[in-house]
């Protein structure tokens, strides 16, 4: 896009950085399914592409948009959020130390405890929101990655990115931030001191529940970043061209979807507080939330579309609520245009730190009034 530095992120995204179809001048670039590229007679590749595994043209636009949003030097697309996240840890060496929060994406936490242990990686899990615990866990010269997720799924606990970044720097570690829930529309971790940002792009970045995708964005293209790129290429954890094209399409409307979902979530969180059968509401936009002050500093223009509600009673009472909902879909995942509900404890299983009476709500872009009425009928029936 010409003069892209002089326009807002919203404009740059909506116009897809101004990229068009070179051959036919279509306002949307095409899909490139070819897996390989022809050499010149002298053996050279005039377009710089050898094989689709890490050089498909459909990656270019999406990765450029990600770098722009997160203010990084480079980005890499992956086949899923999990493959993006674990590539960071696969780039470490046996014996390297990691600091991570106790409440985080459950599948990644389990990976660190199982496959991470098989790789002889050492992990200390710290209480969310306890910066003193973070300081105590970080080991100079040993800690290589400090991993944080804020707001943290599914309690939406908030951690101070700048404070974690300062600790990481003091011990010679890199700070990696899962920014899936906040999205770069609300939070830009690199601007707050992070080194790497991760997204389960399946969620808000795509936004339509029809693409499995992941992404990493780096502050600096250093040797560790090149090692991550080799992990991706060597393991083949890459996206197909159709998925990359759909992800790009989704990101063009990211700003307005996040704005609407955040607005809806705030209205719903406030309404839920008055319901008779609600024990508590977890949402970083509520002034009563423990992470509210930090959220106000590092989340710009909204507090995201994710919240959780604890129903009075136990697991059976919470599950009964999901059965009475009509507009909310009972499904895993988040960040789509449709609203979803999930009883997380039964999904995570044994060892979950998630309360048995907690329901996770992914708020979509429907009418907030309709969603509130649906919740009221299901909870206070």
Length of the chain in residues, anyone? 381
The DSSP string of 56-84 is -HHHHHHHHHHHHHHT-SEEEEESSHHHH
How far apart are alpha carbons 239 and 242 in whole angstroms? 8
Helix (H, G, I), strand (E, B) or coil at 130: coil
Q: Which of 96, 159, 160, 178 is catalytic?
A: 178
Write the CB contacts of 36 (distance below 8 Å, at least 6 apart in sequence): 50, 51, 52
Cis peptide leading into 151, omega within 30 of 0?
yes
Helix (H, G, I), strand (E, B) or coil at 93: coil
* Residue 45, number of CB atoms within 10 A of its CB: 13
Q: Which of 109, 174, 203, 232 is catalytic?
A: 203
CB contact at 8 A, 161 and 88: no
Largest CA distance in the chain: 76
Task: Using CA atoms of 70, 73, 149, 112 in order, give the dihedral in degrees to the nearest 10.
Answer: 150
How far apart are alpha carbons 337 and 203 in whole angstroms? 10
How far apart are alpha carbons 1 and 182 in whole angstroms? 26
> Helix, strand, coil % (nearest 5) of the chain?
40, 15, 45
Looking at the DSSP bridge assignments, the partners of residue 340 are 329, 362
Residue 203 annotated among the catalytic residues of the structure = yes
Q: Which of 19, 37, 49, 53 is catalytic?
A: 53
CB contact at 8 A, 178 and 151: no
Closest CA to 179 of 201, 197, 194, 164: 197
Residue with tokens 């909310």, as numbered in its chain: 328
CB contact at 8 A, 98 and 121: yes
Residue 53 annotated among the catalytic residues of the structure = yes
Q: Which of 59, 96, 105, 204 is catalytic?
A: 105
Structure tokens at 360: 């996770």
Active site members: 53, 105, 178, 203
């Amino acid at each position: 896009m010409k003069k892209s530095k002089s326009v807002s992120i919203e404009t740059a995204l909506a116009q897809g950085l101004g990229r068009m179809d070179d051959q036919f001048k279509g306002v949307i670039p095409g899909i490139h399914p070819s897996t390989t590229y022809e050499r010149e007679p002298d053996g050279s590749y005039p377009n710089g592409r050898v094989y689709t595994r890490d050089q498909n043209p459909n990656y270019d636009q999406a990765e450029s948009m990600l770098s722009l949003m997160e203010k990084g030097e480079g980005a890499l697309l992956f086949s899923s959020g999990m493959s993006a996240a674990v590539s960071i840890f696969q780039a470490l060496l046996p014996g390297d130390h990691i600091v991570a929060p106790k409440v985080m994406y459950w599948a990644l936490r389990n990976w660190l405890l199982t496959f991470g242990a098989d790789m002889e990686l050492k992990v200390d899990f710290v209480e969310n929101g306890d910066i003193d615990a973070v300081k105590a866990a970080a080991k100079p010269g040993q800690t290589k990655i400090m991993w944080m997720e804020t707001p943290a799924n599914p309690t939406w606990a908030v951690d101070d990115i700048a404070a974690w970044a300062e600790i990481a720097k003091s011990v010679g570690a890199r700070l990696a931030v899962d920014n899936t829930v906040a999205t770069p529309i609300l939070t830009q971790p690199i601007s707050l001191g992070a080194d790497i940002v991760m997204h389960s792009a399946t969620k808000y970045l795509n936004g339509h529940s029809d693409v499995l995708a992941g992404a990493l964005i780096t502050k600096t293209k250093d040797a560790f970043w090149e090692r991550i790129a080799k992990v991706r290429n060597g393991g083949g954890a890459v996206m197909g061209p159709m998925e990359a094209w759909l992800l790009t399409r989704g990101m063009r409307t990211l700003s307005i979807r996040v704005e609407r979902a955040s607005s809806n979530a705030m209205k719903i969180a406030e309404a839920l507080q008055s319901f008779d059968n609600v024990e508590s509401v977890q949402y970083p936009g509520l002034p009563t939330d423990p992470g509210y002050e930090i959220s106000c500093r590092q989340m710009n223009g909204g507090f995201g579309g994710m919240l959780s509600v604890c129903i009075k009673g136990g697991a059976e009472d919470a599950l009964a609520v999901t059965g009475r909902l009509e507009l909310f879909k009972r499904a895993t995942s988040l960040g789509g245009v449709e609203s979803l509900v999930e009883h997380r404890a039964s999904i995570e299983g044994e060892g979950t730190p998630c309360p048995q009476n907690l329901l996770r709500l992914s708020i979509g872009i429907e009418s907030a009034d309709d969603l509130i009425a649906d919740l009221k009928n299901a909870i206070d029936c």
